[in-house]
Structure 1
Amino acid sequence: MKILVVDDHALVREGLREVLKGLDEQIHVLEAPACSRAFELAALHPDLDLVLLDYHLPDMNGLAALSIFGKNHPELPIIMLSGSVNPKVMRQVLAQGAAGFMTKSGLSDDLLGVIRRVLEGEIFTPPELLNLSGSLQADELESTPARFVLTPRQEEVLYLLMDGHSNKDISRSLDLSEETVKNHVSAILRGFDVQTRIQAVIAASSHGYFKPLPLV
């Protein structure tokens, strides 16, 4: 397994290298102090499995870096790391194509759990972002389009998407063929006028769709 850590603080990179050993003692960790070096390493190592990318870097911010990674390495999953919790930034990062967002104040075990999920093909949406129904700013509410109405089956698919499940997982959970699930996902993307599953999750949240709480 090969993971690229991008952070301008050497101590943070060293700390993450030690944490990542919790995935595999033989893990190969590459380090970059800035985006320019990160892009070079990504080009030199096409077998990268994951990138841990700091949002605040000396040569560009995380959104700009995500855009470049997305163009050059569209299949490479990226988890954005930040020292602060900013819902607006979270939404922007996930809409830009990140596979997850984690704050640096989180626990090592939590980070490893998110990494494992992302490496399995899931998308990690921070709980803070999924529970923002009452905390949108006025300007965001004014710019939010009318709620897109889904069929009951599409809602079931959407909630599983929001929980980070793959098409195969959804197929098993709902007892549907993968082709049927793919068609439902395509309909959801068209309905929200977005291109990716991550953008669909963000759009769904802005339209008032939130994962139902488990029964107790």
Structure 2
Amino acid sequence: MKILVIDDHVLVREGLKQVLRTLEDNVEVFLVGTCAQGFSVALEHPDLELVLLDYHLPDMNGLDALRIFSRRHPDIPVLILSGSSNPQIMHQVLQAGAAGYSTKTSVSEELLGAVRCVLAGDIYMPPPAAQTFDQDYPAPATAPMPLSPKQEQVLCELLAGRSNPDIARLLSISEETVKTHMAAILRHFNVQNRTQAVVAATRCGYRATAKS
């Protein structure tokens, strides 16, 4: 498993590395201090499974960096780290494609829980903040035209964290057909990428299929 950590504080990076290496035996953690370095690592290692991205960085705003990651690497989930628990910031990063939001005040077990949640294809927010978030940002209305049964199947596999090739294999359809269904799903929820679709679908009551 490969994880990229982007944070401009050396001690924070090293601390995160020690925590992340307890996930499993073969965790490889890349540590960088700028967005530019992070983009380079992501290009060199397209098999990254997770990015931990600091919201405040010296060379680029974390929100802008998140949008770039979402556009260039839509299959790599990004967990935002911040010292703030402001629900407005959470709303912004989730709308921009983040797979989760965790505060830097979290203890190790809370952070590991957030990481496991995101790696499982779910969306993570700290529980107290999530309550406030749901009150301030209620789920949007769904699109007038419902998803087809096959589109719902694709969506449920997406919620399980599966890639397009995996979805194609499991549903016995071509990858091009998966992409067509995925485009329809994005239009249905009026979102720009897979992670935003997961956020919208989860809040509208859709659930992932069980992983085999």
Provide TM-score, normalisation by structure 1: 0.67
Residue deviations 1:128-154 (CA, integer Å, cap 9, x gap): 235434446xxxx9xx98776798xx9
C-alpha RMSD over aligned residues: 3.9
Q: How does 1:131-210 map to 2 (within 5 A)?
A: 131-135=132-136, 190-196=187-193, 198-200=195-197
Alignment match, 2:2: 2
1:70 positional shift: 2.1
Equivalent residues of 2:185, 2:197 under 8 A apart: yes
Cα shift readout 1:89-147 (whole Å, capped 9, x = no counterpart): 11111111111111111121121122123223x132313235434446xxxx9xx9877
Q: Which residue of 2 is the match for residue 173 of structure 1? A: none
Question: Who is 2:165 aligned against?
Answer: none
Q: How far is 1:78 from its partner?
A: 1.1
Rounded to whole Å, the distance in 2 between the matches of 1:147 and 1:42 is 34
The 1:200–1:49 alpha-carbon spacing in structure 2 relative to 1, beyond 3 Å, is: closer
| Structure 2 counterpart of 1:108 | 108
Give 3-state SS (helix, strand or coil) of 1:132's partner. helix
**Does the 8 A contact of 1:90 with 1:129 survive in 2?**
no
TM-score, normalised to structure 2's length? 0.68
Question: Residue by residue, what CA displacement relative to the aligned partner does 1:7-66 show, whole Å, maximum 9, x if unpaired?
Answer: 000000010011012112442111111111111111222222211110100011111111
Unpaired segments ≥5 residues, structure 2: 163-169, 173-177, 207-212
C-alpha distance in structure 2 between counterparts of 1:131 and 1:149, whole Å: 28
Q: Could you tell me whether the CA contact under 8 Å between 1:79 and 1:101 is conserved in 2?
A: yes
- Change beyond 3 A, Cα 1:202–1:37: same
CA distance in 2 between partners of 1:196 and 1:9 (Å) = 30
Corresponding letter in the other structure for 1:129: A
* Post-superposition offset of 1:195: 3.9
Cα distance in 1 between the residues matched to 2:187 and 2:131? 21
SS of structure 2 residue aligned to 1:14: helix
Q: Which one has the largest radius of gyration?
A: 1
Matches within 5 A, 1:30-69: 30-69=30-69
Structure 1 residue 202, shift from structure 2 partner: 5.5
- Tell me which residue corresponds to 2:130: 129
1:3-22 matches, cutoff 5 A: 3-22=3-22
> In 2 relative to 1, CA 119–166 (structure 1 residues): closer, same or farther, beyond 3 Å?
closer
SS at match of 1:3: strand
Whether the aligned pair in 2 keeps the contact of 1:123 and 1:198 (CA below 8 Å) is no
Q: How many residues align?
A: 190
% identical aligned pairs: 48
1:181-202 C-alpha deviation (Å, 9 max, x unpaired): x9x9988754542344543566
